[in-house]
Amino acid sequence: MSHEHPAARVDGNAIAGQVLDILGIDVTALRGTCDGCGSDACLAEAVVELDDSAAIVRCRTCTRTLFTLLHTDERPRLVFGSLRSLSG
């Protein structure tokens, strides 16, 4: 994320299609638990900082990074951070 092109702030619904392409499931209705604060919420409610190179998915309660979706030349990649668990 650069100063010239600041990231857009959106909710978790904005990256649903990209995560579906990687994992093969719609994660927006799944509940994620933050390892930092213990908050449990639907991933659709997460705060996402989105630009051309990445989507940083943050806990709405404490702002820790749950996971990052990197847009690379080869293929998209998920890097997990403070996402303790996902449940249906």
Cα(88)–Cα(79) distance, rounded to whole angstroms? 21
Residues 28, 42: contact at Cβ < 8 Å?
yes
- Output the pTM of the full model: 0.88
In degrees rounded to 5, what are phi and psi of residue 12? Answer: -60, -20
pLDDT of amino acid 5: 65
- The model's pLDDT over 1-55, given as tens digits with 9 standing for 90+, comes to 455 667 899 999 999 998 998 899 999 889 999 999 999 999 999 999 999 899 9
Residues 66, 82: contact at Cβ < 8 Å?
yes
pLDDT of amino acid 4: 65
- The model's pLDDT over 49-81, given as tens digits with 9 standing for 90+, comes to 999 899 999 999 999 999 999 988 888 899 999
pLDDT of amino acid 87: 93
